[in-house]
Amino acid sequence: MTTTQTASAELRELLLAHIRDVPDYPEPGVVFKDITPLLADAKAFGALVDALAALCVERGATKVVGLEARGFILAAPAAARAGLGFVPVRKAGKLPGDTHGQAYQLEYGTAEIEVHADAFDPDDRVLVIDDVLATGGTAEASLELVRRTGAALAGVAVLMELTFLGGRERLVPALGNAPLDALVTI
Ligand SMILES: O=P(O)(O)OC[C@H]1O[C@H](OP(=O)(O)OP(=O)(O)O)[C@H](O)[C@@H]1O
Ligand SMILES: Nc1ncnc2[nH]cnc12
Protein backbone atom coordinates (compact mmCIF):
# COMPACT_ATOMS: atom_id res chain seq x y z
CA MET A 1 0.00 0.00 0.00
CA THR A 2 1.32 3.44 -0.84
CA THR A 3 0.55 6.63 1.01
CA THR A 4 0.12 9.60 -1.24
CA GLN A 5 -0.31 13.30 -0.72
CA THR A 6 -2.54 13.67 -3.75
CA ALA A 7 -3.80 17.21 -3.29
CA SER A 8 -1.86 20.46 -3.51
CA ALA A 9 -1.70 22.67 -0.42
CA GLU A 10 -4.07 25.08 -2.16
CA LEU A 11 -6.65 22.37 -2.87
CA ARG A 12 -6.42 20.99 0.68
CA GLU A 13 -7.00 24.47 2.08
CA LEU A 14 -10.00 25.01 -0.20
CA LEU A 15 -11.55 21.67 0.76
CA LEU A 16 -10.90 22.00 4.50
CA ALA A 17 -12.38 25.51 4.52
CA HIS A 18 -15.72 24.01 3.42
CA ILE A 19 -15.95 21.03 5.80
CA ARG A 20 -17.96 21.76 8.95
CA ASP A 21 -17.54 20.07 12.34
CA VAL A 22 -20.80 19.09 14.05
CA PRO A 23 -20.10 17.85 17.60
CA ASP A 24 -22.10 14.98 19.09
CA TYR A 25 -23.77 13.95 15.82
CA PRO A 26 -25.25 11.42 15.20
CA GLU A 27 -24.40 10.33 18.76
CA PRO A 28 -22.52 11.79 21.75
CA GLY A 29 -18.73 11.77 21.33
CA VAL A 30 -18.71 11.77 17.52
CA VAL A 31 -17.51 14.90 15.71
CA PHE A 32 -19.37 14.69 12.41
CA LYS A 33 -17.54 16.04 9.35
CA ASP A 34 -20.30 17.70 7.34
CA ILE A 35 -19.46 18.10 3.64
CA THR A 36 -22.68 19.88 2.63
CA PRO A 37 -20.98 23.34 2.64
CA LEU A 38 -18.37 21.92 0.26
CA LEU A 39 -21.00 20.46 -2.07
CA ALA A 40 -22.82 23.80 -2.11
CA ASP A 41 -19.72 25.73 -3.18
CA ALA A 42 -19.23 25.47 -6.96
CA LYS A 43 -15.48 26.16 -6.87
CA ALA A 44 -14.71 23.69 -4.07
CA PHE A 45 -17.03 20.96 -5.40
CA GLY A 46 -15.68 21.37 -8.92
CA ALA A 47 -12.08 21.18 -7.71
CA LEU A 48 -12.90 18.07 -5.67
CA VAL A 49 -14.52 16.30 -8.63
CA ASP A 50 -11.57 17.27 -10.86
CA ALA A 51 -9.09 15.86 -8.31
CA LEU A 52 -10.99 12.59 -7.96
CA ALA A 53 -11.32 12.26 -11.74
CA ALA A 54 -7.55 12.76 -12.07
CA LEU A 55 -7.02 9.97 -9.52
CA CYS A 56 -9.28 7.64 -11.53
CA VAL A 57 -6.99 8.14 -14.52
CA GLU A 58 -3.75 8.03 -12.50
CA ARG A 59 -4.73 4.75 -10.84
CA GLY A 60 -5.68 3.15 -14.15
CA ALA A 61 -9.27 2.51 -13.15
CA THR A 62 -11.76 1.11 -15.66
CA LYS A 63 -14.80 1.36 -13.31
CA VAL A 64 -15.59 3.63 -10.36
CA VAL A 65 -17.49 2.47 -7.27
CA GLY A 66 -19.33 4.93 -5.03
CA LEU A 67 -20.47 3.99 -1.51
CA GLU A 68 -24.03 4.98 -0.60
CA ALA A 69 -24.91 7.69 0.02
CA ARG A 70 -22.27 10.42 0.24
CA GLY A 71 -19.86 8.40 -1.87
CA PHE A 72 -22.38 8.56 -4.74
CA ILE A 73 -22.24 12.35 -4.75
CA LEU A 74 -18.48 12.34 -5.33
CA ALA A 75 -17.91 9.16 -7.33
CA ALA A 76 -20.56 9.57 -10.02
CA PRO A 77 -19.38 12.97 -11.36
CA ALA A 78 -15.74 11.91 -11.02
CA ALA A 79 -16.40 8.77 -13.07
CA ALA A 80 -18.25 10.72 -15.76
CA ARG A 81 -15.48 13.33 -15.92
CA ALA A 82 -12.86 10.58 -16.24
CA GLY A 83 -14.87 8.89 -19.01
CA LEU A 84 -15.57 5.80 -16.87
CA GLY A 85 -18.66 3.87 -15.83
CA PHE A 86 -20.05 4.15 -12.29
CA VAL A 87 -21.11 1.24 -10.05
CA PRO A 88 -23.20 1.87 -6.92
CA VAL A 89 -22.49 -0.06 -3.71
CA ARG A 90 -25.82 0.25 -1.94
CA LYS A 91 -27.18 -0.31 1.53
CA ALA A 92 -28.81 -3.76 1.70
CA GLY A 93 -32.12 -4.37 -0.03
CA LYS A 94 -31.92 -1.65 -2.69
CA LEU A 95 -30.37 -3.48 -5.66
CA PRO A 96 -32.55 -5.79 -7.78
CA GLY A 97 -31.22 -9.14 -8.96
CA ASP A 98 -28.16 -11.11 -7.85
CA THR A 99 -25.95 -9.34 -5.34
CA HIS A 100 -23.03 -9.93 -3.00
CA GLY A 101 -23.60 -8.58 0.52
CA GLN A 102 -21.34 -7.72 3.44
CA ALA A 103 -22.22 -6.57 6.97
CA TYR A 104 -19.88 -4.17 8.81
CA GLN A 105 -19.48 -1.71 11.66
CA LEU A 106 -18.75 1.96 11.17
CA GLU A 107 -17.84 4.76 13.60
CA TYR A 108 -21.45 5.14 14.74
CA GLY A 109 -23.37 1.96 14.00
CA THR A 110 -23.73 -1.16 11.91
CA ALA A 111 -24.96 -1.69 8.36
CA GLU A 112 -24.84 -4.00 5.36
CA ILE A 113 -23.87 -3.10 1.80
CA GLU A 114 -24.39 -4.86 -1.50
CA VAL A 115 -23.10 -4.80 -5.08
CA HIS A 116 -24.49 -6.46 -8.18
CA ALA A 117 -22.76 -9.80 -8.71
CA ASP A 118 -22.29 -8.95 -12.43
CA ALA A 119 -21.26 -5.31 -11.92
CA PHE A 120 -17.76 -5.77 -13.36
CA ASP A 121 -16.06 -7.50 -16.27
CA PRO A 122 -13.28 -9.92 -15.32
CA ASP A 123 -10.63 -7.49 -16.61
CA ASP A 124 -12.02 -4.43 -14.78
CA ARG A 125 -9.85 -2.40 -12.40
CA VAL A 126 -12.01 -0.80 -9.74
CA LEU A 127 -11.43 2.46 -7.87
CA VAL A 128 -13.60 2.81 -4.75
CA ILE A 129 -14.53 6.40 -3.83
CA ASP A 130 -16.08 7.68 -0.59
CA ASP A 131 -16.21 10.94 1.31
CA VAL A 132 -14.83 9.84 4.69
CA LEU A 133 -12.47 7.10 5.85
CA ALA A 134 -13.08 6.84 9.60
CA THR A 135 -12.70 3.40 11.23
CA GLY A 136 -12.46 1.84 7.78
CA GLY A 137 -15.36 -0.56 8.35
CA THR A 138 -17.32 0.65 5.33
CA ALA A 139 -14.35 0.71 2.96
CA GLU A 140 -13.17 -2.71 4.14
CA ALA A 141 -16.62 -4.19 3.48
CA SER A 142 -16.65 -2.63 0.00
CA LEU A 143 -13.26 -4.16 -0.81
CA GLU A 144 -14.57 -7.56 0.23
CA LEU A 145 -17.47 -7.07 -2.20
CA VAL A 146 -15.12 -6.13 -5.06
CA ARG A 147 -12.95 -9.17 -4.24
CA ARG A 148 -15.98 -11.46 -4.46
CA THR A 149 -16.91 -10.14 -7.93
CA GLY A 150 -13.47 -11.22 -9.20
CA ALA A 151 -12.49 -7.73 -10.43
CA ALA A 152 -9.07 -6.23 -9.70
CA LEU A 153 -8.66 -3.32 -7.29
CA ALA A 154 -7.18 -0.07 -8.64
CA GLY A 155 -7.37 1.61 -5.23
CA VAL A 156 -9.45 3.53 -2.73
CA ALA A 157 -9.80 7.31 -2.84
CA VAL A 158 -11.45 9.44 -0.18
CA LEU A 159 -12.01 13.12 0.27
CA MET A 160 -10.96 12.94 3.92
CA GLU A 161 -9.21 10.49 6.19
CA LEU A 162 -9.74 10.72 9.97
CA THR A 163 -6.31 9.38 10.87
CA PHE A 164 -6.98 9.05 14.61
CA LEU A 165 -9.57 6.31 13.91
CA GLY A 166 -7.07 3.96 12.27
CA GLY A 167 -8.92 3.16 9.06
CA ARG A 168 -5.76 3.09 6.94
CA GLU A 169 -4.14 0.41 9.13
CA ARG A 170 -7.34 -1.62 9.07
CA LEU A 171 -7.46 -1.56 5.27
CA VAL A 172 -3.91 -2.83 4.73
CA PRO A 173 -4.79 -6.53 4.26
CA ALA A 174 -7.72 -5.81 1.92
CA LEU A 175 -5.75 -3.26 -0.14
CA GLY A 176 -2.74 -5.46 -0.82
CA ASN A 177 -0.57 -3.37 -3.13
CA ALA A 178 -3.39 -1.04 -4.16
CA PRO A 179 -3.08 2.61 -3.05
CA LEU A 180 -5.25 4.51 -0.59
CA ASP A 181 -5.45 8.18 -1.56
CA ALA A 182 -6.83 10.79 0.81
CA LEU A 183 -7.13 14.36 -0.47
CA VAL A 184 -7.12 15.72 3.08
CA THR A 185 -6.10 14.09 6.38
CA ILE A 186 -7.46 15.15 9.75
O1 LIG B 1 -14.83 4.38 8.07
P2 LIG B 1 -16.18 4.15 8.69
O3 LIG B 1 -16.15 4.16 10.18
O4 LIG B 1 -16.84 2.93 8.13
O5 LIG B 1 -17.08 5.41 8.30
C6 LIG B 1 -17.09 5.97 7.02
C7 LIG B 1 -18.44 5.89 6.40
O8 LIG B 1 -19.43 6.54 7.21
C9 LIG B 1 -20.23 7.37 6.39
O10 LIG B 1 -21.28 6.67 5.82
P11 LIG B 1 -22.75 6.47 6.45
O12 LIG B 1 -22.97 5.01 6.63
O13 LIG B 1 -22.95 7.35 7.62
O14 LIG B 1 -23.72 6.80 5.26
P15 LIG B 1 -24.20 8.02 4.39
O16 LIG B 1 -23.13 8.21 3.34
O17 LIG B 1 -25.44 7.46 3.84
O18 LIG B 1 -24.39 9.24 5.23
C19 LIG B 1 -19.27 7.83 5.31
O20 LIG B 1 -19.94 8.32 4.17
C21 LIG B 1 -18.46 6.59 5.05
O22 LIG B 1 -19.08 5.75 4.09
N1 LIG C 1 -16.96 11.58 11.99
C2 LIG C 1 -17.58 11.37 10.82
N3 LIG C 1 -18.04 12.40 10.09
C4 LIG C 1 -18.67 12.17 8.91
N5 LIG C 1 -18.87 10.98 8.41
C6 LIG C 1 -18.44 9.93 9.10
N7 LIG C 1 -18.50 8.61 8.86
C8 LIG C 1 -17.92 7.97 9.88
N9 LIG C 1 -17.47 8.82 10.80
C10 LIG C 1 -17.78 10.06 10.33
Alpha helices (H) along the chain: 9-16, 36-40, 42-58, 70-82, 137-149, 167-175
Which domains does the chain show, CATH number per domain? 3-94+114-185 (3.40.50.2020)
Is-above-0.90 flag for pTM? yes
The pLDDT of residue 5 is above 80 = no
Residues 6 or more apart whose Cβ sits within 8 Å of residue 61: 82, 84, 125, 126, 127, 154, 155
| Segment 138-160 mean pLDDT | 98
Candidate list 59, 90, 107, 161, residue with the active-site label? 107
| Distance of CA 137 from the midpoint of ligand 2 (Å) | 11
Q: Is 58 a catalytic residue?
A: no
The pLDDT of residue 1 is above 90 = no
pLDDT higher at 6 or 43: 43
Q: How far, in Å, are 29, 134, 155 from residue 52 at the CA level?
A: 30, 19, 12
pLDDT in tens, 44-98: 999 999 999 999 999 999 999 999 999 999 999 999 999 999 999 999 999 999 9
| Distance of CA 136 from the midpoint of ligand 1 (Å) | 9
pLDDT in tens, 86-117: 999 999 999 999 999 999 999 999 999 999 99
| Distance of CA 166 from the midpoint of ligand 1 (Å) | 15
**Ligand 2 neighbourhood includes 134 CB (under 6 angstroms):** yes
Beta strand 125-133 with 63-67 is: parallel
Atom of ligand 1 nearest to the CA of 111: 12
Q: According to the model, what pLDDT value does residue 2 have?
A: 47
* Largest pairwise CA distance in the chain: 45
CA distance 186 to 43: 21
Q: What percent of the chain has pLDDT over 70?
A: 97
CA distance 66 to 72: 5
| Segment 136-143 mean pLDDT | 98
The pLDDT of residue 4 is above 80 = no
Q: Is 70 a catalytic residue?
A: yes
